[in-house]
Amino acid sequence: MTDRDPLVARLRNLPTPMLPTATRERIAARAERAFAGDAPPVNVAYLALVALLLSCQAACGAQTIALVVTIFG
Amino acid sequence: MGTDGELVERLRTGDRSAFREVYACYETRIFRFLARLTSDRAVAQDLFQETWIAFARTAPRLEPRGDLTGLLFTIARNKFLNWRRWSLLDVSRLASLPREPEAGDPSGSDAAEELVAVERALARLPLASREVLLLVGVEGLDPSQAASILGVRADAVRQRLARARSRLAELLDAEMKRDPMLERAGLDEGEP
Across the interface, whether the CB atoms of A35 and B122 are under 8 A apart is answered no
User: Residue B84 — left, alpha, or beta (φ > 0 → left; ψ -120 to 50 → alpha)?
Assistant: alpha
Per-window interface: A 51-70 vs B, CB < 8 A = none
Collect all residues with Cβ–Cβ distance below 8 Å to B67 and sequence separation of at least 6: B4, B145, B148
Lowest pLDDT segment from A22-26, A42-46, B185-189: B185-189
| The pLDDT of residue B101 | 53
**Cross-chain residue pair B56–A35, CB shorter than 8 Å:** yes
Sign of the torsion angle spanned by Cα atoms B28, B41, A29, B149: negative
Q: Is A42 part of the contact surface with chain B (CB cutoff 8 Å)?
A: no
B122 interaction partners in chain A (CB closer than 8 Å): 11, 14
Q: In sequence order, what DSSP letters do the residues of A5-70 get, joined into one string?
A: -HHHHHHHHSPPP---HHHHHHHHHHHHHHHHT---HHHHHHHHHHHHHHHHHHHHHHHHHHHHHH
B31 touches chain A (CB under 8 A): yes
Q: Given an 8 Å threshold on Cβ–Cβ distance, is B57 in contact with A35?
A: yes
- For residues B122 and A10, give the distance between their C-alpha atoms in angstroms, rounded to a whole number: 11
- Residue A66 pLDDT exceeds 50: yes
Distance of CA B58 to the CA centre of its chain: 21
Q: Does A13 contact B136 at a Cβ distance shorter than 8 Å?
A: no
What pLDDT does residue B179 have? 61
Nearest to B26 by CA among B57, B63, B1: B1
Q: What is the pLDDT along chain B (192 residues), one digit of tens a residue?
A: 568 888 899 999 999 999 999 999 999 999 999 999 998 999 999 999 999 999 999 998 888 877 899 999 999 999 999 999 888 776 555 555 555 554 444 445 666 777 888 888 888 899 999 999 999 988 989 899 999 999 999 999 999 999 999 999 899 888 777 765 555 544 444 333
How confident is the model at residue B120, as a pLDDT? 86
Does the pLDDT at position A32 exceed 90? yes
Q: Distance, in angstroms, between B174 CA and closest chain A CA?
A: 15
DSSP string computed for B11-41: HHTT-HHHHHHHHHHHHHHHHHHHHHHHS-H
**How far is the C-alpha of B13 from the C-alpha of B183, rounded, in Å?**
55
pTM: 0.74
Rounded to the nearest angstrom, the minimum Cα separation between B71 and chain A is 15
Closest CA to A28 of B49, B140, B5, B101: B49
Residue of B nearest to A23 (CA): B45
Kindly report which listed range (A37-46, A52-61, B97-106) carries the lowest average pLDDT score.
B97-106
Q: How many residues does chain A have?
A: 73
Residues in A touching B57 (Cβ below 8 Å): 34-35
Name the residue facing A28 among B14, B23, B57 (closest C-beta).
B23
